[in-house]
Amino acid sequence: PISVTQAEFDEAYDRLVSQGIPMQPDREAAWLHFAGWRVNYDSVLVALARMTMAPQTSWLSDSTFVPAVTELGQTSGRLQKVR
């Protein structure tokens, strides 16, 4: 499994098409190709995103983790699971 859902892929696919970006016409085949390649590096990408505190996006990081907020409303530098 990969961290990007097919629904998220479909949303990105639609946004690219709406901007005139040439896409593979068969969306299902495009998803299968994307997922087939992404599985090779997904866990490494998620780990790097966590280490570098990358902005929360489904494409670059595991969106199930967000910075922990202290009682004063400041981020603590730790991550907490939200799902």
DSSP secondary structure letters along 60-73 = TS-TTEEEEE-TTS
User: Which candidate, 35, 67, 37, places its Cα nearest to that of 49?
Assistant: 67
Distance between alpha carbon 44 and the CA centroid of its chain, in Å?
Answer: 12
Summarize pLDDT for 39-80 with one digit per residue, the tens.
999 999 888 988 888 777 766 655 555 555 555 655 555 555
Structure pTM?
0.66
Report pLDDT for 83: 44
Is 40 part of any domain? yes
Is 1 part of any domain? no
Is 17 part of any domain? yes
Q: Are 27 and 10 in contact (CB under 8 A)?
A: yes
How many structural domains is the chain composed of? 1
DSSP secondary structure letters along 19-52 = TT----S-HHHHHHHHHHHHTTTHHHHHHHHHHH
C-alpha pair distances (Å), 70 with each of 51, 75, 80? 20, 6, 11
Summarize pLDDT for 3-23 with one digit per residue, the tens.
999 999 999 999 999 999 999
User: Which structural domain, as residue segments, surrounds residue 76?
Assistant: 6-81
